Amino acid sequence: WYRKFIPSFSEIAAPIHKVTNKIKQKKKEFYGSEEQIHAANKLKQVLTEEPLVLTYPHPNAPFILSTNASEYAIGGTLKQIINGQIF
């Protein structure tokens, strides 16, 4: 979902996708190489530093709460529909 806010997202995440796509097919455990660890760290960096261009919520637009959970972690995002697009 954040890819639209991260310039060159596909290029940064390519090492991760290359391996995870193979893992899905073989259902094997994954241990990241230096290349995948670097890509994950770069994604963390661009998501937590400026100039990540996000906007303030629109108080009159409805909110959407998306959640996900597994045995190992939980997560969630708060979104809004603005001009027909989910942000």
Which structure tokens are listed for 64? Answer: 């959407």
pLDDT digits (tens, 9 = 90+) for 10-27: 898 888 888 776 655 666
Q: What are 65's strand-pairing partners?
A: 78
CA atoms of 61 and 68, how far apart (whole Å): 23
More confident residue, 81 or 1: 81
Q: Please give the average per-residue pLDDT across 20-41, as a whole number.
A: 75
CA atoms of 64 and 46, how far apart (whole Å): 24
CB neighbour list of residue 11: distance below 8 Å, 6 or more residues apart: none
pLDDT digits (tens, 9 = 90+) for 54-73: 778 888 988 999 999 988 88
- Per-residue DSSP letter, 74: E
Q: What is the pLDDT, as a whole number, of residue 39?
A: 92
